[in-house]
Amino acid sequence: MDTLNNLLAGFQTAMLPVTLMYCFIGVFLGTLIGVLPGVGSLAAISLLLPVTYYIEPTPAIIMLAGVYYGAQYGGSTASILLNLPGSASSAITCLDGHPMAQQGRAGAALFMTAAASFFGSMIGLALLVAFAPAIAELGLELGSAEYFALMALGLVAASTLGSGALAKGLAMVLLGLLLGVVGTDVSTGVQRFTFGFNGLAEGLSIVALAMGVFGIAEVIGAVNRPREGQLHKDRISLRSMVPSRDDVRRSWMPMARGSGIGSFFGALPGTGAAIAAFIAYAVEKKVAREPARFGKGAVEGITAPESANNAAAQTAFVPTLTLGIPGDAVMALMLGALILHGITPGPLLMVEQPELFWGLIASFVIGNLMLLVLNIPLIGLWVSVLRIPYSVLYPAIIVFICLGVYSVNNSSFDILQVALIGALGYAFAVLSFEPAPLLLGFILGPLMEEHFRRAMMLARGDVTTFVDRPLSAIILGVTVAVLAWAVCRRTAAVLKRREALRMAG
């Protein structure tokens, strides 16, 4: 009953005119960003971070969240019409979505995508409401040793479960941790790694870091990237969007399975929407009576991954809001936005900031309803947006980045920061270093240091406190197991590749 009352109070907050306006802005921009290939929700949220300084915390977080789950909807449009995924999580939609468009069924594919996205979002939201209070209560029982262990697990999982090399992922986490300690030590007042620059006394700017690594680096990398695919020439009418009975019949169970898979993987650190979508597609192909249909326009190949990535987008907020531990780079940015507004995510967030927490949850329902309405009549607009030349789009993004980062502190030093970090981010991309673990390490680094120091003070300098406490020891054991599993998996892959080369030679 308390949960229901809190949710009703959240709807009162979410239904305020100013909150509705920012919710609409967020989901609209998210859909637009999702449609544009290669931009992504990370870059969009990075661009909007400076704007949130001038907005109240609740509408600001609701807007950023709308960008995140709105991008999950929009990413499928370019995948279906152009065979160009707007985001990593919608890449799998290309396999069956584009063949449906080539068969003259683009309208039905887009409609079923919107329906599956909404269905998955609602399932993920229901699980978020059901489990968030319980997880928050559990979090109140955790001490600094347990929080340190949980954050270590999140960082290791994020660096080892990615698509890049294990060593590179761990290196980026460590670099993020090092960048996080730049600035003034809150305990001693001593400046660390500032090298005499007064602009670094308060540490590196999270806005400059996010914009540089995900905004500037993406623009530099996309300048010479060819635009592939052809625009869909046929007019997509509302009548053409009506799916057949067979489409609906084939989609119910894939949507249910995809929602369950997405809800589970969305709440795990280091996985997220992209992995959930790929696993949902693989499961459907495995259980299908006619697996040969996949890749040739099977509607299940659209509805399962789309429901999975949208469910994952909702449940990803569970560890971020209730434990203060982001599962991926987007959630790290959300965590950073909360911290910038003086709000500490964690178990007490529901108690100290009930208006923000439950208002955000209620806004998910409203935002997803907005997206369901937006994605059908505005298909023509999204197709027109895809015609904007990169030579016009990306210079405008650079201008907005510079204006945004300067507006935070009115400091030209911050523009220098974002330029240098952007060049560094592009170098990471060229060398195949994933930037997401860097951001996670940067956000969690100061928090890990704080909990480590507190645990050591309570234990009077005895480092064995981390293994003496049962829950902390279990979490650290799982961390070691995840790391060992990743090492074994990569070693086996290398040996298999060498054996294949030897046999081929």
pLDDT at res. 222: 67
pLDDT at res. 230: 47
- Asked whether 305 and 280 are in contact (CB, 8 A), the reply is yes
CA distance linking residue 261 with residue 447, whole number of Å: 30
Domain ranges in the chain are 2-228+240-504
CA distance linking residue 476 with residue 30, whole number of Å: 37
| Coil, strand or helix at 192 | strand
CB neighbour list of residue 75: distance below 8 Å, 6 or more residues apart:
34, 35, 85, 86, 87, 89, 90, 93
Q: What is the mean pLDDT of residues 172-179?
A: 86
Maximum mean pLDDT: which of 70-74, 392-396, 412-416, 440-444: 412-416
Residue 363 burial by Cβ neighbours in a 10 Å radius (0-12, 13-18, 19+): buried
Q: Over the chain, what is the mean pLDDT?
A: 79
Q: Residue 379: left if φ>0, alpha if ψ -120 to 50, beta else—which one? A: alpha
Q: Which residue has the higher pLDDT, 152 or 275?
A: 152
pLDDT at res. 67: 87
pLDDT at res. 229: 46
pLDDT at res. 162: 53
Q: Which residue has the higher pLDDT, 114 or 223?
A: 114
CA distance linking residue 334 with residue 354, whole number of Å: 17
With b meaning 16 or more CB within 10 Å and e meaning fewer, what string describes 459-471?
beeeeebbeebee
Q: Which residue has the higher pLDDT, 55 or 158?
A: 55
Q: Which residue has the higher pLDDT, 196 or 369?
A: 369
With b meaning 16 or more CB within 10 Å and e meaning fewer, what string describes 487-502?
eeeeeeeeeeeeeeee
CA distance linking residue 502 with residue 505, whole number of Å: 5
Percent of the chain with pLDDT over 90: 3
36-45, 213-222, 259-268, 397-406: which has the minimum mean pLDDT? 36-45
Tokens at 100, concatenated: 């449906």
Q: Which residue has the higher pLDDT, 347 or 127?
A: 127
With 60 as the cut, is the pLDDT of residue 369 above it? yes
pLDDT at res. 386: 58
CA-angle at 168, arms to 444 and 324, nearest 5°: 15
Maximum mean pLDDT: which of 19-33, 38-52, 234-248, 284-298: 19-33
| Coil, strand or helix at 183 | strand
Q: Which residue has the higher pLDDT, 91 or 256?
A: 256
Identify any residues that bridge with 191 across adjacent strands, giving them in sequence order.
184
With 80 as the cut, is the pLDDT of residue 294 above it? yes
**Other Cβ atoms within 10 Å of 233 Cβ, number:** 6
pLDDT at res. 24: 92
> First-to-last CA distance in the chain?
69
| Coil, strand or helix at 414 | helix
- How many helices and strands in the chain, by DSSP H and E? 23, 2
With 80 as the cut, is the pLDDT of residue 411 above it? no
Counting every residue, how long is the chain? 505
For residue 355, the surrounding DSSP H or E stretch is: helix 354-374
Q: What is the mean pLDDT of residues 17-38?
A: 83
Structure confidence by residue, pLDDT tens digits, 296-306 = 888 888 899 88
pLDDT at res. 87: 62
| Coil, strand or helix at 191 | strand
Nearest Cα to Cα of residue 279 among 290, 292, 264, 296: 264
Q: Which residue has the higher pLDDT, 380 or 378?
A: 378
Q: Which residue has the tokens 């540089």?
A: 212
CA distance linking residue 50 with residue 427, whole number of Å: 25
140-144, 191-195, 299-303: which has the minimum mean pLDDT? 140-144
With 70 as the cut, is the pLDDT of residue 316 above it? yes
pLDDT at res. 231: 47
**Other Cβ atoms within 10 Å of 429 Cβ, number:** 16
3-class SS string, 402-413? HHHHHHHHCCHH
pLDDT band at 22 (very low <50, low <70, confident <90, very high): very high
**Other Cβ atoms within 10 Å of 220 Cβ, number:** 18
With 70 as the cut, is the pLDDT of residue 1 above it? no
pLDDT at res. 234: 52
